[in-house]
Structure 1
């Protein structure tokens, strides 16, 4: 799928990389701020992340150019292929050879944790909009990381507690065998038990090699659990739900809890398959006038997809980072990623995707979490009109308390 880029376009800058050049003829008044979008551009999360996140990051850059014409910005992109070594090698090359100042996205928790360590080592900035592990603001927090959008704690708490309150007291998990899957299952177990529920069993599968979930679904059904918790994401979530419907789990009384899912997933499943599912997100295009305004600005730039919360996080994190760079001066921002993140924390956040908010000392961006229910086909009035808002969790309750995370900052 081809995604339109900014008016100036992208110029190839090596295998797997591209750079967005500054406007020609612009006075070289300040050094160039370079952003590296590291995401999935070819694998199972491609349609959920890479190209659409890139388009949203470009939107943030365009808006900053309008308000701060003296701020010069370039964008590079690369595919981490969902492999930690690929992500690590790319980011080291960016920092050491390409003068990249900040890495955006990293929609893979294992890759994200590795990138956070490198950003700290090199004193650069990591803007995590796609990595979901709450360890980024817990035991592995760094003064160089800002964790936007969501994390495993938020997702597990909002979804699992709501399901238990609604009668889903017994659970069985199908879990992707990597950092995100392990952590969100662990977090969900804690909240299920706190709410009075019980986990009857779990099974892990190799990622990303698995496409047939039949045997796993049979194990879940045999457990007698009322809720199937899907501790996976992307194409795996879509395939799991579709195959669960084919196996008739819903007809047999088993409900499905999506521990991490996006509007893009629902679009791929179709409302006939996804209707009634509940999931937690921190952004939805039709939530309010500001979110609708953002969607109207990026229409035509994101290909066939409406931005999901991960893509919106890439936009918002980039916008706030560039505001901090403009506030402190590009030269100072390039000197120290740690100082730039400190400036980001000191400035209140405000954008059309998430509204007003703040960044906590541990790097956790705070904003509300929304529990949505997927509409029935006859309730949808337009493309991507998929959600009905069920509940809102305020920022101070949505994310793990600072005192419980184990972060040593501050």
Structure 2
């Protein structure tokens, strides 16, 4: 059963991604719990499902002699709906692994549920760094990115530009946004800067004017949008209408992805710094995946959608290597095997479940620099994985140092 709000998204999901409704005990079953029609759908949703289908097909459609099955659902941006779907999948439909989950509150709940039920969860779309901190578990892997790595890259880059290094936050009011603000604040203070103020807004806000007026009044050097998806697009566009960048304020959106930059438009987005583990045009292999993805979805993948492909492929390799789909055995193999795909070279799953891979500081191009509709950013710097992500000793993960 799917839970979809918009008719267009429902049609796309049903036509392209229809899946078996019931589980088979002799199948390896993957669940994509995602935002199919809400504020994060462009960066996750149907594109995530397409990426999972590609990975399953590339693996051959079966593992250990069992068919690989896929189920999908839209959690409607509601924590209770998302948690309820996941419990039903684990309890009644024999789902072995759930991924996606572009909501940190749901992801934080599911890592505990997966551990209790001896299943696996890979919140590829959730951002909070708490997933590999105090909330880490033996049954979860944080595959793509997190609020620590995204904000560290951006704050350090802007701090080096000079000025008084003061910041104002416009933060979406739930676990994800609060984690972005918290992690960014620690880097700002470490660089000798200060937080001039912050405001909280509901998910999928249409009018940011009152928040931007407060940012303007703060006289802060930097404005950080601690949000994602549609909220980035709306907020950055309205900041331009207020002329904040022209007044000298450095605007950043650490969780912005390529569809967001396109949604804002280069005329407004030009110069904005983003942090990403992937760009669709970065290598021949990435371009080949992009061509394949674009034929189905109609545009290049976000970094979440690209990373989702790698997560499923690594999971299936681990099942094969373990000789079983039992969660503990598969988790052990996922941490043992190196990660190599079109997005990640020689990556690894750390003890706390954090995947370590290089990150890239990128900057939105000017309209004049762009050579096409999706030629949106340019590479500024590579940040090695061991520098981009939080040191193992600082996260507070209870698994660290534990004897198995």
Settle same-fold status: TM greater than 0.5.
yes
1:396, distance to aligned residue in structure 2 (A): 0.7
Cα 1:297–1:378 change in 2 (3 A) is same
Q: Normalised by the size of structure 1, how large is the TM-score? A: 0.91
Deviations 1:312-357 (Å, cap 9, x if unpaired)? 121111110011111222xx21xx3122111100111111122221
1:84, distance to aligned residue in structure 2 (A): 1.3
1:384, distance to aligned residue in structure 2 (A): 1.3
The residue aligned with 1:378 is 368
Aligned residue runs from structure 1 range 95-114, under 5 A: 95-114=90-109
1:313 aligns with 2:303: no
Aligned residue runs from structure 1 range 6-405, under 5 A: 10-11=18-19, 13=21, 31-65=26-60, 70-167=65-162, 169-208=165-204, 210-301=205-296, 303-329=297-323, 332-333=324-325, 336-405=326-395
Deviations 1:255-306 (Å, cap 9, x if unpaired)? 10112110110111111121111110111111122212221232312x2331
CA distance in 1, matches of 2:281, 2:17: 29
Contact 1:176 1:207 in 2 (8 A): yes
CA distance in 1, matches of 2:167, 2:15: 50
1:153, distance to aligned residue in structure 2 (A): 0.5
Contact 1:158 1:398 in 2 (8 A): yes
Contact 2:20 2:70 in 1 (8 A): no
Q: Normalised by the size of structure 2, how large is the TM-score? A: 0.92
Contact 1:80 1:86 in 2 (8 A): yes
Deviations 1:24-74 (Å, cap 9, x if unpaired)? xxxxxx931100000101211111211111111111111001796945201
Cα 1:101–1:338 change in 2 (3 A) is same
Question: What secondary structure sits across from 1:356 in the alignment?
Answer: coil
Gaps of 5+ in 1: 14-18, 23-29
Question: What secondary structure sits across from 1:204 in the alignment?
Answer: strand
Higher mean C-alpha displacement, 159-168 vs 316-325: 159-168
CA distance in 2, matches of 1:10, 1:256: 41
Higher mean C-alpha displacement, 147-156 vs 79-88: 79-88
CA distance in 1, matches of 2:15, 2:74: 23
Cα 1:7–1:223 change in 2 (3 A) is closer
Deviations 1:180-203 (Å, cap 9, x if unpaired)? 111110111110111121111111
Cα 1:323–1:245 change in 2 (3 A) is same
CA RMSD of aligned residues (A): 2.1
Gaps of 5+ in 2: 1-7
Contact 2:229 2:260 in 1 (8 A): yes
Deviations 1:108-164 (Å, cap 9, x if unpaired)? 100111111111110001111100011111101011001011001101110111111
Cα 1:158–1:50 change in 2 (3 A) is same
Contact 2:35 2:102 in 1 (8 A): yes
CA distance in 2, matches of 1:286, 1:69: 35
CA distance in 1, matches of 2:61, 2:101: 27
Contact 1:293 1:352 in 2 (8 A): no
CA distance in 1, matches of 2:252, 2:345: 27
